[in-house]
Amino acid sequence: MPEQLTIVFDITGEFEETALLQLMTKAKEQEPKGKYEKRIWSINGLTVKQYEKSLVVQGSLNDYTKGLLRGLKDIKGLALDEKNAAKLGRVFPSNHNAILCLECKSTSLAIAGRIDGLDIAFTAECGHKNTLKPPLFMVNSRILPDINILISKSLSRLVELGYFVGFEVVVPEFILDVVDQFKGSGNKDAVSSELDMLRALEKMGKIRLNNLAVLPVKIDPSLFKEEDKMILELAQLTNSILLTSDQILKDRSVMQERPTVYIPPEVFGKIKMIQEVRNP
């Protein structure tokens, strides 16, 4: 069954309605039924409804409708709030550390300068200008979980609940080496099971896995007893967001100015229950 989606664009004062009408020339226009509907189109399993202040896109996601979404996000005056920008971002995954365009929410790996009269204009790959004034927003879609997150299988459960979808998950071989030092098989089996689940989620297109096999890093075995410090170092080295349930590791990470997602004990202990209730 094709993936279904609903994305709501806000219509601003700069809205170029003629650009929308031109984009929808191949779509079948229908008679509006709702009280507040101005226009309604349908094409290839997708319905587009125009209201006074919003444009609602709903239906099947396929190659054609992806092209239509690309066209919509380039129309001046159609804006996305954070929630809907995240939905669109999952449809068009961006490169890690790509530069975010605040106008259309698309990402670019390159910004190019060009002569504009007696001035120089810098434009992103989407065609919009960038002032090159701080802050320059960049997309970070890479996360590195600590060992407790893996043992508890919290990451796969969070992905199944809709969090971290579209992220690249970094699981360095160092973590597996540390787990291999554990006595007994319980924690080893738990991590192995979690990695199987993460690989399954990767096959479903929900995440990407990276074990840093190509990274020229050699780990001193003496560091195994200081795995938290090493995990933080790897998060810094790979420019990853650290995912942890350890308050001390969170504090260390913040002190080193490393972006961190912290799951406190009262949340950490209920992730499994919430996932099982919502996805029985």
Domain ranges within the chain, ordered by starting residue:
4-93, 94-139, 142-278
CA dist 66 and 63 (Å) reads: 5
Can you give the C-alpha Rg of the chain in angstroms? 23
Backbone angles phi, psi at 21, to 5 degrees: -65, -35
Measured between its terminal Cα atoms, the distance across the chain in Å is 20
Quick one: pLDDT at residue 216? Answer: 47
Quick one: pLDDT at residue 263? Answer: 94
* Type of residue at 17: E
Quick one: pLDDT at residue 41? Answer: 95
Q: What is the DSSP string of the chain?
A: -PPEEEEEEEE-TT--HHHHHHHTTTSEEE---STT-SEEEEETTEEEEE-SSEEEEEEE--HHHHHHHHHHHTSTTEE--HHHHHHHHHHSPPPTTPEEPTTT--EES-EEEEEETTEEEEEETTS-B----S---B---EEEE-HHHHHTTHHHHHHHTTSSTTPEEE--HHHHHHHHTSSSSHHHHHHHHHHHHHHHHHHTTS-EEE--TTS-----GGGGGGHHHHHHHHHHHTT-EEEES-HHHHHHHHHTT--EEE--HHHHTTHHHHHHHH--
Quick one: pLDDT at residue 214? Answer: 47
Instruction: Write down the CATH superfamily of domain 4-93.
Output: TATA-Binding Protein (3.30.310.10)
CA dist 144 and 240 (Å) reads: 6
Quick one: pLDDT at residue 213? Answer: 52
Which of 124, 99, 105 has its CA nearest to residue 114? 124
Quick one: pLDDT at residue 185? Answer: 66
Quick one: pLDDT at residue 156? Answer: 95
Quick one: pLDDT at residue 135? Answer: 87
The series of mean pLDDT values per 10 residues for the chain, 280 residues long, is 83 91 91 89 92 93 80 86 78 79 79 89 85 88 93 94 89 79 76 92 86 55 67 89 94 94 92 85
Q: How far is CA 63 from the centre of its chain?
A: 20
Asked: is 142-278 a CATH 3.40.50.1010 domain? The reply is yes
Quick one: pLDDT at residue 280? Answer: 64
